[in-house]
């Protein structure tokens, strides 16, 4: 009898639960995303087409926003998290958008809407992409002029994997990409299986021989 009065889950309830599970599965040092979600900071959502594809922008509780906001916090995306979509019977990427220590929303690049299985979340390839515009300048301190000429500046961004800083250089397809660390070591980072594999070839040789640069 009492089941008749049981509150039904809304679309927002499902989204909040998904965000909670994702943030708990991929905790970020110094940013308590799971904590702010758990106390009810998300009160609404609106789908937009900018600044990201299929961007679900959250409406936030103003009191909790003031409590959790970090005026000096960096803005970034959390990329590479895969969530099982029951509608498509496949894993789809869900990108988190974070600014000033607050979860601002998320993007689903492959679809406007997904029907997520919140128990099936894969964070093995999850990484942070910062918004700062000086990532290329940082890379200029690492690479030679010849190497920089072989790289598309639009592909460059700083990221963190397993607590270490890398610079994304080139997408290789299927979620794989080429990166370097601050010591100029070259890596091929693959999604399935998830692996950070050091490449013994020089960056110049790899770009010219394998990518035809």
pLDDT digits (tens, 9 = 90+) for 145-161: 888 888 887 678 888 88
Delimit the domains of the chain by residue range.
Answer: 2-128, 133-210
Phi-psi region of 92 (alpha: psi -120 to 50; beta: other; left: phi over 0): beta
**CA dist list (Å): 15 to 105, 106, 132, 185, 194:** 10, 10, 28, 39, 26
pLDDT at 156: 83
What's the rounded Cα separation, in Å, for the pair 42 and 142?
Answer: 41
**CA dist list (Å): 176 to 134, 140, 145, 172:** 24, 23, 25, 5
Nearest CA-CA partner of 75 in 161, 123, 135: 135
pLDDT at 8: 54
pLDDT at 4: 47
**CA dist list (Å): 76 to 31, 72, 85, 120:** 12, 13, 24, 24
Residuewise pLDDT in 10s, the chain (213 residues): 445 444 556 889 999 999 999 999 999 988 999 999 999 999 999 998 888 889 999 999 999 998 999 877 888 999 999 999 999 999 999 999 998 899 999 999 888 889 999 999 999 989 988 875 567 788 888 888 888 888 887 678 888 887 788 998 888 877 788 999 999 999 999 877 888 999 988 888 888 876 666
The overall pTM is greater than 0.85:
no
């Amino acid at each position: 009898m009492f089941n008749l009065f049981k509150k039904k889950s809304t679309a927002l309830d499902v989204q909040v639960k998904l965000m909670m599970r994702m943030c708990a599965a991929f905790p970020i040092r110094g940013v308590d995303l799971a904590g702010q979600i758990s106390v009810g900071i998300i009160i609404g959502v609106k789908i937009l087409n900018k600044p990201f594809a299929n961007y679900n922008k959250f409406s936030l509780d103003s009191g909790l926003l003031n409590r959790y906001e970090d005026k000096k916090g960096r803005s970034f995306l959390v990329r590479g998290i895969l969530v099982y979509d029951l509608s498509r019977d496949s894993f789809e990427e869900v990108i988190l958008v974070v600014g000033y220590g607050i979860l601002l929303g998320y993007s689903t690049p492959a679809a406007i809407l997904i029907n997520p299985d919140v128990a099936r979340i894969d964070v093995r390839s999850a990484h942070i992409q910062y918004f700062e515009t000086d990532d290329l300048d940082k890379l200029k301190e690492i690479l030679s002029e010849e190497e920089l000429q072989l790289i598309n500046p639009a592909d460059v961004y700083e990221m963190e994997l397993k607590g270490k800083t890398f610079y994304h250089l080139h997408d290789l397809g299927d979620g794989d990409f080429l990166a370097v660390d601050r010591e100029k070591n070259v890596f091929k980072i693959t999604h399935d299986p998830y692996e950070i594999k050091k490449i013994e070839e020089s960056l110049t040789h790899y770009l010219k021989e394998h990518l035809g640069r």
